[in-house]
Every structure is written in C-alpha cells, then in structure tokens.
Amino acid sequence: MSWVSVCQAADIDSEDVYRFDHEGRSYAIYHAESGFFATADICTHEHAHLSAGLVIGDVIECPLHQGRFHIPSGRALSPPACVNLKTYTVKVESGTLFVDLDR
Amino acid sequence: MNGEGRSLCIVGAGVAGLSAAKAARAAAPSANVTLITQEGSLPYWRPDLSKRFLATSDAFPTLLTSVPALAHARISLFDGWAVEGIDLTRGQLLGRRGPLSFDQLVLAPGAVSAQIVVPGAELPGVRRLRTLADARELRSRLLVATRVVVIGGGLIGMEIAASARRLGKAVSIVERAPHILSRCFPAMLAAEVGAYHAKLGVELHLATGVEAFLGLETVNGVMTTAGQFAADLVIVATGARPDTRLAATAGIQCNDGIIVDEHCRTSADGVWAAGDATRVRGAGGDYRLENWRHADEQGQVAGANAAGADVGYTPVPWFWSDQGELHLQGCGTFCADAEEVVRPGPDGCSRIVFQRRAGMLSAAFCLSLRNALAKDLPFLARLVAQRTPVSAAMLADPAVPLKTIWREHATARARAESPH
C-alpha cells in the first residue's frame, strides 16, 4: 500500500474529474455517480488527458475521439477505446482523498 | 425476426459492419451472425491509417476487436472473402467459395477512392489510401521517397502531408480550390491550418489543377496549371465515392450511395445498409456522411433493425482530424456563408468557430494546438445536437466554459420538460 493524499474530497464537484500529477505520472481522480475513483489519466487509445473529458454518471468520455470508459472498473465501453484503463484504489479519511499508487 | 437460429450476414467489416454485427448479436441472442470482409484482417481503426500508422515505421494497425472478443460475441468472421453478387430471390451471397444463405443482410461496403482522370494516373508511384493494404504499400514507398506530392487539400490529404513531413520528406500539396479544407471547415480556421503546415515546410499550391502525371517506368513529376513539380511519390487524396457496386447490380436503389431511410432500410426487403456507402433519405433530409462516428452509430441501427428491432436515427455529423500537433473537430452541417462567432483559445492558433442560423447554434468547428481546448471539446457536439439558443456574446467569451453553458441549458430544458 502506498497511499498518497490528493486533495480535499469536497473540492471535486459531483460528476467531475481532476488531474493529479505525481512523480512524473498523471492520474485522473473522479467524483462519479457511484463515488470517488482514480484511473490512469492518459487515454488508452491515443495521447489525450481523460481529466479534460466529460463525466456522465459513471462514464468518462475522452475529449479527443469520444472513446468511453466505465470509471469504477476502467472497462473500455465504446470505440475507439478498446483497451481497458488502469484503475487505482481510493479512500476518503477526514475529508481528504487518498489514492493507492502501489499497483 | 426473433432471431431463432436465423442467419444474419453483414458484408463489410469496417466500423459500420462491426457495429452492425455487435448490435445484431445484442438484439438477437440466438441468430447466426456472420461478418464478411474481403480484407485479410480483423476490423481495424481506419482513421489512423493516414496519421500515426503512416508516420511510425514500426506501427501496427489498431484493431477494433480481437479473435476472442468475436468468439465471445459468437460473431463469425469470414475474412479474405469477396462477395461477388447478391441473389435476392434465394437470399444468397455469391462468391468463389460458394453461396452463403441469409435471412437478413446488412451492406456496409464503405467507399472507394475517387479516381482522377488525367494522363499517367495508372503509373506506379501514383497511390491512393483507403485500406490497410493501401497504407502498408504507401508506407513502404513513403519510407524511401524523397519528394512527395499530395493531390487534394482535404482532411485526408492534409493528414498524409503531416505524416510525410514527420518522416522528413519534401511535401507539396496541390489543391484545385482556392483554399484547403473548403468542403468542411470555416475559411478562417482552414487558413490557420494551412499556415501551420507551411511553417512545418509543406508547400501549398492552391487554385492549382492537375494536368498529368509524368514518367515512364514510374512517376517522376506532376504537370499542373501552375507548372511542373518533381515527385517520386504521388498520393491522390481527392475524396471517396460510395461503393454501390454490389447493391446496384442486385437491383437495390442507389444514387451516389445506397439509398436508405433513417431506419437503414434499403429498397429491398430484408436488406439494410450503413456507413460510407449509404445516402440517407428521410425526414432529416437527403445526405451522405463520410465520418467514423456516423458509420459506428448507423451500423448499430442497421444491425439492431436487421435483428428485429425498430430503431430510428438522426445523426449529428461529427468529425475530427489530427495533423501533427493540430487537433481539428467539426460538428453539425458546415455552411460556407453562415453567421460565425469566434471563441479565441489560450494561444494564437487555437480557437472555436460557431455557426448560427436563426439565433440557434447549427455547427461548431475547433482548431486546437495539442490539448489546448480539450476542456471545451466534449460540449461542441452536445451544444449543436441540442440546437442551443445561446447568445453570441457567451459563445465568444473564453471565460465562460462551454460546460457551464451546456449544463445551464440542459437544466433549463429539463425544467421546461418536467410536468411539475
């Protein structure tokens, strides 16, 4: 386990996404319909930051080519996204959002 | 059709055909779904062929599915299988490997490159780009070429030019119209795209017609209305024509496209069509669209309806293009003389042009240097689809995120539609 604090959970509006850079990598931190989640920030299709995309319910849509992923599982939902997204575990403690970057 | 053991065939395994197969499977769990392509490959991501695939020497095509995924969906893929005719009376596809019976048929044969009728058009070294096989051939020629001339300054021509420049080739574009992208993009943005390419070292020859391709064994030049250009590789990117050969020969109604309605029905019972090959005639007008998202969505409708569903479809045209570090998007129907509102971006190059008709947003076009306008992009098509009545001042103000405009409008509309 390698918990890294990201931000105050209340700072991310519902149905929104926040870009978190840590040790040279980008992560997308979501406040989706089912709660808080984290995935890799770079779309598995082509180089685009998902954190610039649109959250609809539990789905993130890539801003460049409209590929879609299921946020909680990282599953690719619609082409051109075909490869699943890496997901990370998150937790909220005393209002602070943490992400486990150890896997 | 309830799908009980019935046979549903799809001709063409581009994105329209693949989406039709998947939608047919979802709508008819027990039908036999067969996807037929004359190409020797799994369905692939065709938009990439003019971009990354050409410019990267070790690139593999991005596949849209896999053998296990097709097996899991119980979709049979017949690749390398050329359909040579359709017997509508017997419900059979004809080909060298024998007839294949169908109960319902979806045609998704796509488009073929438009020909250019000038002397020398058949010379080796005069290439086109449509299929993965074309792209492989073109890339191997591109790697050893020194002077490349691209005929046509449309989206594909500009993408190919950017890819060829990335490989360090001398590149010229010959375009008949007075500016590039004249069919699909506002002149102001097109000029910016042209300037970007010129800065990369691409020579633009506008308002220039091709008279002949020169050379004996292989091409060594292009004769144009503006003089002669040396070339050891010529790429003709002058657009595409719907592939109506199979449908027309079978007596299915075609007119610059296989005619379908908004349910993807053709003039023949039990035959549906989708993708670049179609021309839609319905309440929404009479139009052809050649873009990836349309092929995907229309394919889903054709597949579902062939499997017994009853789904209609009114598309919002949407395209994108990647050229070097430029990302272009357009949605809605481009109109060369619409009222335009410009939203400036954070750098000198990026910006969005909105087109309005009767106070309503009718189309939006974006030029973005890398990810500069990524935050606004998801809302272009959404705002256009809603025909949002929004003031020019708000659209033009980069301090008001498009997300805010979209959310406010969506909320207002939900409130108006609510019975309480």
Is 0.85 exceeded by the ipTM? Answer: no
pLDDT tens-place string over residues B175-205: 999 999 998 999 999 999 999 999 999 999 9
Residue B417 clears pLDDT 80, i.e. is over it: no
Q: Is A34 exposed, middle or buried (0-12, 13-18, 19+ CB in 10 A)?
A: exposed
- DSSP code for B61: P
Tell me the CATH number at A61.
Answer: 2.102.10.10
The pLDDT value recorded for residue B3 is 47
| Structure confidence at residue B419 as a pLDDT band (50, 70, 90) | low
Residue B420 has pLDDT above 60, yes or no: no
pLDDT of B99 strictly over 60: yes
Q: Are strands B227-230 and B221-224 parallel, antiparallel or unpaired?
A: antiparallel
Is B45 touching A (CB cutoff 8 A)?
A: yes
> Cα(B120)–Cα(B134) distance, rounded to whole angstroms?
19
**Which amino acid belongs to residue B387?**
R
Q: Which of A13, A68, A82 best tests the B interface by mutation, with the highest count of B CBs <10 A?
A: A82
Average pLDDT, chain A: 90
- Is B377 within 8 Å of A63 when comparing Cβ atoms? yes
What value does the mean pLDDT take over residues B235-254? 97
Mean pLDDT score, B232-258? 97
Q: Do B374 and A53 touch (CB under 8 A)?
A: yes
Lowest-confidence pick of B32-46, B355-369, B400-414: B400-414
Token readout for B321 is 């293009």
Q: What is the per-residue pLDDT for B409? A: 84
Partner-chain residue, chosen from B52, B292, B327, that has the shortest CB–CB distance to A64: B327
Q: What is the pLDDT of residue B114?
A: 93
Q: What are phi and psi of B361, to 5 degrees?
A: -70, 125
**Range from B64-78, B270-284, B370-384 carrying the lowest mean pLDDT:** B370-384
The CA distance from B219 to B234, in Å, is 8
Residue A23's contacts (CB-CB under 8 Å, 6 or more residues apart) are: none
**Rounded (to 5) percent helix, strand, coil in chain B:** 30, 30, 45
Compute the C-alpha angle B151/B239/B118, nearest 5°.
50
Phi-psi region of B412 (alpha: psi -120 to 50; beta: other; left: phi over 0): alpha
The structural domains of chain B, ordered by start, are 7-112+240-306 (3.50.50.60), 126-236 (3.50.50.60), 325-417 (3.30.390.30)
Mean per-residue pLDDT for A1-23?
90
Residues of B in contact with A66 (CB under 8 A): 293, 318, 378
Any A CB within 8 A of B293 CB:
yes
Residue A103 has pLDDT above 60, yes or no: no
- Cβ contacts below 8 Å, chain A against chain B, sum to 46
Residues 6+ apart with CB under 8 A from B120: B126, B212, B213, B214, B215, B219
Q: For chain A, how many residues are written?
A: 103
Q: What is the tens place of the pLDDT at every residue in A33-60?
A: 999 999 999 888 777 889 988 999 999 9
Sign of the four-CA dihedral A78, A79, A83, A86: negative
Q: Using CB atoms, pick whichever of B52, B293, B371 lies closest to residue A52.
A: B371
Partner residue facing B45 (CB), from A48, A52, A80: A80
Domain count, chain A: 1
| The 3-state secondary structure of B299-312, one letter per residue | HHHHHHHHCCCCCC
| Mean pLDDT estimate for chain B | 93
Residues of B in contact with A52 (CB under 8 A): 371, 374-375, 377
The 8-class DSSP code of residue B314 comes to -
Domain span at A18: 3-100
Name the helix (H) or strand (E) containing B101.
strand B100-101
Model confidence pLDDT, tens digit, residues B113-150: 998 999 999 999 999 999 999 999 999 999 999 999 99
Residue B163 has pLDDT above 60, yes or no: yes
Beta bridge partners of B327: B322, B368
SS3 B25: helix
Please give the Cα distance from A71 to A93 (Å, whole number).
21
Residue type, A88: Y
- Percent of chain B at pLDDT > 90 equals 79
Confidence of residue B57 (pLDDT cuts 50, 70, 90): low
Q: Which tokens is B159 given?
A: 């993408």
What confidence score (pLDDT) does residue A47 get?
76
Query: What are the residues whose beta carbons fall under 8 Å from the beta carbon of B182, sequence distance 6 or more?
Result: B153, B190, B336
Give A33→chain B minimum CA distance, Å: 16
Six-digit token pair at A65? 């080519």
The more confidently predicted of residues A42 and B107 is B107
Helical segments of B84-154, H only: 132-144
Minimal CA separation from B182 to chain A, in Å: 22
Beta bridge partners of B387: none
* pLDDT exceeds cutoff 70 at B2: no
Q: Give this prediction's pTM.
A: 0.90
Answer yes or no: is pLDDT of B238 > 90: yes
Contact call for residues B148 and B171 (beta carbons, < 8 A): yes
Cβ-defined contact of B374 to A79 (cutoff 8 Å)? no
| Alpha-carbon gap, residue B240 to B6, rounded angstroms | 34
For tokens 């058949």, name the residue: B122
Average pLDDT over residues B305-320: 92
> Using CA atoms, how far apart are residues B368 and B365, in angstroms rounded to an integer?
10
